[in-house]
């Protein structure tokens, strides 16, 4: 059986809260440069952020990201955790993710699209058509 996507769910802590929030990391072969992190809200809806897979990988060892999404291995007191910071005009949130879960997720994405071979899976013609039809 062949799959073209990887999804991994986990509970994360939001802004040092003691109540965990359900999150989901997703990767799709047709968007080989990107990963999506989704958070379940109180009303059962999902809030999604899409950013570079490379940013998530770089954040495993060093602070990564300068814009709306940043991954920081240095902000958590526990070395087994990573901090994901998300910022928008509407606000700021930080989440703690288990490093091992992120590593496992990334390895699964590399099984589908090896790091450095993203351009072989990216359909630029389909993107142009999608943008043109908006």
16 token code pair: 């040092």
For 25-70, how does the pLDDT look when each residue is reduced to its tens digit (9 = 90+)? 999 998 999 999 998 877 888 888 999 999 999 999 999 998 899 9
Q: How far is CA 104 from CA 43, 89, 130, 132, in A?
A: 29, 32, 32, 36
Beta strands in 15-120 (DSSP E): 20-28, 34-40, 46-52, 69-72, 81-88, 91-98
The dihedrals phi and psi of 118, each to the nearest 5 degrees, come to: -55, -40
Topology of domain 5-114, CATH: Transcriptional Co-activator pc4; Chain A (2.30.31)
Return the H-helix or E-strand segment holding 70.
strand 69-72
Predicted local distance difference test score (pLDDT) of residue 116:
84
Predicted local distance difference test score (pLDDT) of residue 61:
93
The dihedrals phi and psi of 59, each to the nearest 5 degrees, come to: -70, -10
Contact 27, 35 (CB under 8 A): yes
Q: State how far the Cα of 133 lies from the Cα of 127, in Å rounded to an integer.
A: 10
Q: Does residue 3 surpass a pLDDT of 90?
A: no
For 66-108, how does the pLDDT look when each residue is reduced to its tens digit (9 = 90+)? 889 999 998 877 888 899 999 988 888 888 888 999 999 999 9
Predicted local distance difference test score (pLDDT) of residue 1:
40
| Those residues with Cβ within 8 angstroms of residue 9's Cβ, 6 or more apart along the chain or in another chain | 22, 23, 24, 25
Q: Which residue in the block uniquely carries the two structure tokens 């992190």? A: 37
Residue scoring higher pLDDT (119 or 23): 23
Domain ranges for the chain, please list them: 5-114
Residue scoring higher pLDDT (17 or 99): 99
Return the H-helix or E-strand segment holding 84.
strand 81-88
């Amino acid at each position: 059986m062949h799959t073209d996507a990887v999804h991994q769910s986990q509970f994360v802590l939001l802004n040092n809260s003691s109540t965990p929030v359900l999150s989901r990391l997703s990767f799709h072969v047709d968007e080989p440069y990107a990963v999506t992190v989704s958070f379940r809200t109180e009303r059962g809806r999902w809030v999604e952020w899409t950013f570079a897979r490379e940013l998530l990988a770089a954040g495993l060892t060093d602070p990564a990201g300068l814009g709306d999404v940043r991954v920081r291995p240095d902000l958590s007191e526990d070395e087994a955790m990573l901090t994901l910071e998300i910022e928008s005009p509407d606000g700021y949130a930080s989440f703690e993710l288990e490093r091992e879960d992120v590593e496992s997720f990334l390895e699964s994405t590399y099984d589908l699209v090896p790091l450095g071979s993203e351009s072989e899976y990216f359909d630029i013609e389909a993107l142009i058509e999608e943008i043109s039809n908006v």
